[in-house]
Chain A
Amino acid sequence: MSGKSFFAAEQPTSFVFTDENLRRAQAHIAKYPAGKQASAILPLFHIVQEQHDNWIPRAAMNYVADMLEMPRIKAYEVATFYSMFNMAPVGRHTIEVCTTTPCWLRGSADLVDACQRRLGITLNETTADRHFTLREVECLGACVNAPMIQIGEHYYEDLTRESMVGIIDDLVAGREPKPGSQTRKYGSMNDSGTTTLIDEARQLGVAVQETV
């Protein structure tokens, strides 16, 4: 961000919640005691992103700050701190590639490279058709199936160059790629199939998926 503004150059001049979102926002605010409404800022920002093409314009930060009776600068602090809040327009799909150590050991650099080649953009950029934004993120907590990425609300795990490009192709074609592990693995199962607690599961009568 150095030398750049935190905020998009082009900003809408105003923002208000839709009636439905206003009701949702008020439900969140009501969870906190009087005088502590500011605590509701995170869910409110999520609602803003839902309503506003997945990014928060400055007008919306002001709107939320005023609604929560907190100084506007404090709302800016929160919005710019969390990586899940976008300060500028993003593509319809944001590909977040985990590049922390376990994923990196399992080839996350290849995934980044594959995305960049397939989409023709580098990290933190958005494609010209505004379909994809590519981003590097810190650990998302699915190291067991590294390397992995997040797109929207779904995780895609056990990726290779090929499966990564396949997911993008699916999205381009308007298909919904299958979330979770991209090898036919079940949950966070070992690569070579189920290996532990098998006898205990049988004794309890729990079904065991034995093979990959």
Chain B
Amino acid sequence: MPKLTIDGTELEVAQGTSILQACEELGIEIPHFCYHSKLSVPANCRMCLVEMQGSPKPVASCAMPCADNMVIRTASELTHRTRQDVMEFLLINHPLDCPICDQGGECDLQDQAVGYGYDRGRYSEAKRAVKDKYMGPLIKPFMTRCIQCTRCIRFADEIAGVPELGLLGRSEDVEISTFVEKAIASELSGNLIDVCPVGALTSKPYAFAYRSWELKRTAGIDVMDAVGSNIRIDSRGNEVVRILPRLNEDVNEEWIADKSRFAYDGLKRQRLDRPYMRVDGSLQPVTWDRALEVAAAKLKATAPDRIAALAGDLVDVESVVALGDLMKSLGVANLDCRQDGAEFDTAHPAGYLFNSTIAGIEEADAILIVGGYLRWEAPLINARIRKRLLAGGLKVGVIGEHRDQTYPHKYLGAGVETLQAVASGNHEFCDILRSARKPMIIVSASIFAGGSGIALQALCRQAASMFNMVTDGWNGFNVVHTAAGRIGAVQAGFLPQAGGLGTRAICKAAADGRLDLVYLLGADEIEPSTLGKAFVIYQGHHGDQGAHRADLILPGAAYTEKTGTYVNTEGRVQVSRAAVFPPGEAKEDWKILRALSALAAKTLPYDSLGELRSRMAQIPAFRDGATPSPSGWGQFGTAGQIENRVFPAAMSNYYMTNTISRASVTMAKCTEEFLEFQAQPKTGTEG
């Protein structure tokens, strides 16, 4: 533990702490550009130079580890002069286009030039200009502004695992460049915009839209996957204009995936902004009073065993609790929240949660990934595995599709057969799992959807038991879900009640005419034609599959428009706040259900969000607070015959997986760029 003195304060820091980190511990700000706490340290911007006693030259504080008896001065004349000089060099070739630069107002270079630079430049020669590169539909590069900090290169290499950026040339000619004028093929590419300290990499969809200080910031939770990334929703008036990550070391660190960041333009398209009712085969606008009257009449007139309700992938806990309470009070047993028809045993929460927690991945030393394609299903969990792998000593085995995971792994096999071999100890990978100290299994919930889900769950449990994945203080049994609303709805008990039907059975019963009324709460991922002649009430925010089939549409709010609770795949309970209002006559979903319940003579006992929250607190999972509590270990799943099959990815297109992303133009462009037309040459006429 080295002891050193910084600006007259003596302190002791952990071995390996850099001077810059030690200064931050003391609350002393050291200006820097190339240094980033999550990336490797190249020490090439020289902005963090500080004076060290005994050194003839100032030292780069980001790269210099603290040692005993060091005396550091961060406010001395030498340090001050050095910063001014470095800043002058950096600004030699930086254009003075701040007034038209999107980074203006939130630019490290701008801030530090004000804080540490000279008040004028002495350089009157020509500045260099760099040709802009093409970086795809998400990132707009202005390479003339680049100060060659190489953060983007390191992010692509280290975090995203796509080494496609490099620093070409030397001295005055150096340029950051992609491979061959191509887009960065990563689900995390949007983070390049955040790591860039200047305006060289900016957001293409947000280009020239607003100034950062004009925006209202709201703390939200992302619903594009079940990771529950913490986001900042920036809005102007009643429009969401961009989405940025919020720091949460336990969940998303400081990154978010591209779908979470860029799908927001889908919030403005295909919206349901007033109630509609199907009259003579076509949807006609109606008033709220009329719509609720019809819905209530239908609920009252239909026998409970001929009613079913399905909750979608984006629902918040509030609305799913309200719908569950309403349906249960009517005596409806046909409830389900698993639109993909997944079957898994919910007897014990350990059976369907990510028990080790996402941060827990960093402790694992062997990981068995079963099914799905983590890189698409939960990009940030995948990034965490890569981070752990780069730290050394981790072995990863994959059962499922053989695809690029962004990190080296052992491919074991395609499906059930391989899983059975591993779970019974007859596979070469078993030795690695056996000798591991903290082994982990990561199961994609998508494998539970192809039939025999409960037996597969038991098989995974068997593997976990066999390799001691659950011990005191360690639970390595993990399930990754893709739907943000899934865990919350499962824990709220929005599941088939005694004698009730599950998703598949509901669709079948509706098709066979055994159901008269189906209530869809944001459920759009089921084939509409399977609902037969049943009267369909659709409550949701987008005119997607569900609404097209609906006989009555009750317009609800999207995730940015309501204060709602979401439970991520770890079982972490998080609250997202409303940033804007729902469009037109649309309402917050729990309020719609509360109004409907009164008309259906089954008035829900809560009149405010506070009262609804009190009702939610009666459910243990939501009472225990924001952090996932260790759910322990228990019996779940039932062993049984499983037909051999392969485990496919849960989605065929990462960029379009729900109503919001399907309505997004940016996501459509990504689909075109990265998936559909990958092999075809550009024509040169595209925007």
User: What's the minimum C-beta distance from A11 to chain B, rounded to whole angstroms?
Assistant: 11
Within 8 Å by CB of A73, from B130, B166, B175, lies B166
> Which A residues touch B165, using CB under 8 A?
73
> Which B residues touch A6, using CB under 8 A?
168-169, 175, 177
Could you give 14 example pairs across A and B, Cβ below 8 Å?
Answer: A1-B169, A1-B175, A2-B128, A2-B130, A5-B131, A6-B175, A6-B177, A71-B166, A73-B164, A74-B163, A76-B177, A80-B168, A80-B169, A81-B170
Q: Whole-angstrom distance between the alpha carbons of A81 and B169 in the complex?
A: 5
Within 8 Å by CB of A1, from B157, B167, B173, lies B173
- Whether B131 pairs with A4 at a CB distance below 8 angstroms is yes
- Closest A residue by C-beta to B168: A80
- Whether B169 pairs with A74 at a CB distance below 8 angstroms is no
Q: Mark B154-182, 1 if CB is under 8 A from A, else 0.
A: 00010000011111111001010111000
Q: Whole-angstrom distance between the alpha carbons of A1 and B169 in the complex?
A: 8
User: What's the minimum C-beta distance from A125 to chain B, rounded to whole angstroms?
Assistant: 17
Q: Whole-angstrom distance between the alpha carbons of A2 and B131 in the complex?
A: 7
Contacts A5-B131, A80-B170, A81-B169 known; 20 new A-B pairs at CB < 8 A: A1-B173, A2-B131, A2-B173, A3-B129, A3-B130, A3-B131, A6-B168, A6-B175, A6-B177, A71-B164, A71-B166, A73-B163, A73-B164, A73-B165, A73-B177, A73-B179, A74-B166, A76-B166, A80-B168, A80-B169
Interface positions, chain A 67-86, Cβ under 8 Å from B, are 71-74, 76-77, 80-83
Q: Mark A1-16, 1 if CB is under 8 A from B, else 0.
A: 1111110000000000
- Whether A72 pairs with B179 at a CB distance below 8 angstroms is yes
User: What's the minimum C-beta distance from B146 to chain A, rounded to whole angstroms?
Assistant: 12
> Which A residues touch B167, using CB under 8 A?
77
User: What's the minimum C-beta distance from B389 to chain A, rounded to whole angstroms?
Assistant: 15
> Which A residues touch B157, using CB under 8 A?
71
Q: Whole-angstrom distance between the alpha carbons of A141 and B87 in the complex?
A: 32
Q: Whole-angstrom distance between the alpha carbons of A128 and B286 in the complex?
A: 79
Residues of chain A having any CB pair with chain B under 8 Å = 1-6, 71-74, 76-77, 80-83
Interface of A is mostly: loop
Q: Whole-angstrom distance between the alpha carbons of A82 and B171 in the complex?
A: 11
7 smallest beta-carbon distances between A and B, as pairs: A71-B163, A73-B166, A1-B173, A80-B168, A77-B166, A80-B169, A81-B170
User: What's the minimum C-beta distance from A155 to chain B, rounded to whole angstroms?
Assistant: 23
Residues of chain B having any CB pair with chain A under 8 Å = 128-131, 157, 163-170, 173, 175, 177-179
Q: Whole-angstrom distance between the alpha carbons of A74 and B167 in the complex?
A: 8
Interface centre among B131, B169, B179 (most CB of A within 10 A): B169
Residues A76 and B163 in contact in the complex (CB < 8 Å), given A2-B173, A3-B131:
no
> Which A residues touch B173, using CB under 8 A?
1-2
Q: Whole-angstrom distance between the alpha carbons of A72 and B178 in the complex?
A: 10
User: What's the minimum C-beta distance from A72 to chain B, rounded to whole angstroms?
Assistant: 6
Within 8 Å by CB of B168, from A3, A71, A76, A83, lies A76
Q: Whole-angstrom distance between the alpha carbons of A4 and B130 in the complex?
A: 8
> Which A residues touch B169, using CB under 8 A?
1, 6, 80-81
> Which A residues touch B175, using CB under 8 A?
1, 6
Q: Whole-angstrom distance between the alpha carbons of A35 and B157 in the complex?
A: 17
Q: Whole-angstrom distance between the alpha carbons of A76 and B168 in the complex?
A: 7
Q: Whole-angstrom distance between the alpha carbons of A82 and B170 in the complex?
A: 8
Q: Whole-angstrom distance between the alpha carbons of A4 and B128 in the complex?
A: 12
User: What's the minimum C-beta distance from A50 to chain B, rounded to whole angstroms?
Assistant: 23
User: What's the minimum C-beta distance from A175 to chain B, rounded to whole angstroms?
Assistant: 35
> Which B residues touch A73, using CB under 8 A?
163-166, 177-179
- Closest B residue by C-beta to A6: B168
- Closest B residue by C-beta to A4: B131
User: What's the minimum C-beta distance from B159 to chain A, rounded to whole angstroms?
Assistant: 15
Q: Whole-angstrom distance between the alpha carbons of A73 and B177 in the complex?
A: 9
Q: Whole-angstrom distance between the alpha carbons of A76 and B131 in the complex?
A: 17
> Which B residues touch A2, using CB under 8 A?
128-131, 173
Q: Whole-angstrom distance between the alpha carbons of A71 and B184 in the complex?
A: 14
Q: Whole-angstrom distance between the alpha carbons of A71 and B175 in the complex?
A: 18
> Which A residues touch B164, using CB under 8 A?
71, 73
Q: Whole-angstrom distance between the alpha carbons of A5 and B175 in the complex?
A: 10
User: What's the minimum C-beta distance from B604 to chain A, rounded to whole angstroms?
Assistant: 58
> Which B residues touch A72, using CB under 8 A?
179
Q: Whole-angstrom distance between the alpha carbons of A3 and B165 in the complex?
A: 18
> Which B residues touch A76, using CB under 8 A?
166, 168, 177, 179
Q: Whole-angstrom distance between the alpha carbons of A92 and B117 in the complex?
A: 49
> Which B residues touch A77, using CB under 8 A?
166-168
> Which B residues touch A74, using CB under 8 A?
163, 166
User: What's the minimum C-beta distance from B596 to chain A, rounded to whole angstroms?
Assistant: 57
User: What's the minimum C-beta distance from B172 to chain A, rounded to whole angstroms?
Assistant: 8
Q: Whole-angstrom distance between the alpha carbons of A71 and B178 in the complex?
A: 12
Q: Whole-angstrom distance between the alpha carbons of A72 and B175 in the complex?
A: 16
Q: Whole-angstrom distance between the alpha carbons of A188 and B157 in the complex?
A: 48
Q: Whole-angstrom distance between the alpha carbons of A83 and B171 in the complex?
A: 11
User: What's the minimum C-beta distance from A5 to chain B, rounded to whole angstroms?
Assistant: 8
Q: Whole-angstrom distance between the alpha carbons of A1 and B165 in the complex?
A: 18
Interface centre among A2, A6, A80, A82 (most CB of B within 10 A): A2
Q: Whole-angstrom distance between the alpha carbons of A150 and B177 in the complex?
A: 31
Q: Whole-angstrom distance between the alpha carbons of A5 and B164 in the complex?
A: 17
User: What's the minimum C-beta distance from A75 to chain B, rounded to whole angstroms?
Assistant: 9
Q: Whole-angstrom distance between the alpha carbons of A3 and B166 in the complex?
A: 17
> Which B residues touch A81, using CB under 8 A?
168-170
User: What's the minimum C-beta distance from B167 to chain A, rounded to whole angstroms?
Assistant: 6
Q: Whole-angstrom distance between the alpha carbons of A147 and B146 in the complex?
A: 37
Q: Whole-angstrom distance between the alpha carbons of A5 and B168 in the complex?
A: 10
Q: Whole-angstrom distance between the alpha carbons of A1 and B163 in the complex?
A: 24
User: What's the minimum C-beta distance from A135 to chain B, rounded to whole angstroms?
Assistant: 14
Q: Whole-angstrom distance between the alpha carbons of A5 and B181 in the complex?
A: 11
User: What's the minimum C-beta distance from A183 to chain B, rounded to whole angstroms?
Assistant: 34
Q: Whole-angstrom distance between the alpha carbons of A3 and B178 in the complex?
A: 15
Q: Whole-angstrom distance between the alpha carbons of A58 and B173 in the complex?
A: 19
Q: Whole-angstrom distance between the alpha carbons of A73 and B170 in the complex?
A: 15
Q: Whole-angstrom distance between the alpha carbons of A2 and B178 in the complex?
A: 16
User: What's the minimum C-beta distance from B145 to chain A, rounded to whole angstroms?
Assistant: 14
> Which B residues touch A82, using CB under 8 A?
170
User: What's the minimum C-beta distance from B138 to chain A, rounded to whole angstroms?
Assistant: 19
Q: Whole-angstrom distance between the alpha carbons of A77 and B168 in the complex?
A: 5
> Which A residues touch B177, using CB under 8 A?
6, 73, 76
Q: Whole-angstrom distance between the alpha carbons of A190 and B178 in the complex?
A: 51
Q: Whole-angstrom distance between the alpha carbons of A1 and B143 in the complex?
A: 13
Q: Whole-angstrom distance between the alpha carbons of A29 and B321 in the complex?
A: 64
- Closest B residue by C-beta to A2: B128
- Closest B residue by C-beta to A77: B166
Q: Whole-angstrom distance between the alpha carbons of A1 and B128 in the complex?
A: 10
User: What's the minimum C-beta distance from A136 to chain B, rounded to whole angstroms?
Assistant: 13
Q: Whole-angstrom distance between the alpha carbons of A2 and B164 in the complex?
A: 21
> Which B residues touch A71, using CB under 8 A?
157, 163-164, 166
Q: Whole-angstrom distance between the alpha carbons of A76 and B169 in the complex?
A: 9
> Which A residues touch B179, using CB under 8 A?
72-73, 76
User: What's the minimum C-beta distance from B150 to chain A, rounded to whole angstroms?
Assistant: 11
Q: Whole-angstrom distance between the alpha carbons of A5 and B169 in the complex?
A: 10
Q: Whole-angstrom distance between the alpha carbons of A5 and B173 in the complex?
A: 11
- Closest A residue by C-beta to B93: A2
- Closest A residue by C-beta to B130: A2
